[in-house]
Amino acid sequence: MITQNKRLFGIMTSAAVLLLMPLIAMQFSDEVNWKLADFVIAGVLLLGTGLICEFVMRKVKKKENRIALIAVIIALLLLIWAELAVGIFGTPLAGS
Segment 15-59, tens digit of pLDDT: 999 999 999 999 999 999 999 999 999 999 999 999 999 999 999
pLDDT tens, residue by residue, 51-93? 999 999 999 999 999 999 999 999 999 999 998 888 888 777 7
Query: What span, in angstroms and rounded, lies between the C-alpha atoms of 54 and 59?
Result: 9
Q: What is the dihedral of CA 35, 82, 47, 36, to 10 degrees?
A: 0
Q: Which residue has the higher pLDDT, 37 or 1?
A: 37
Q: Which residue has the higher pLDDT, 3 or 9?
A: 9
Does residue 54 contact residue 8 with C-beta atoms inside 8 Å? yes
Rg over CA atoms, the chain: 16
Dmax over Cα atoms in the chain, in whole Å? Answer: 47
Question: What are the residue ranges spanned by the domains of the chain?
Answer: 2-86
pLDDT of 96 over the 70 cut: no
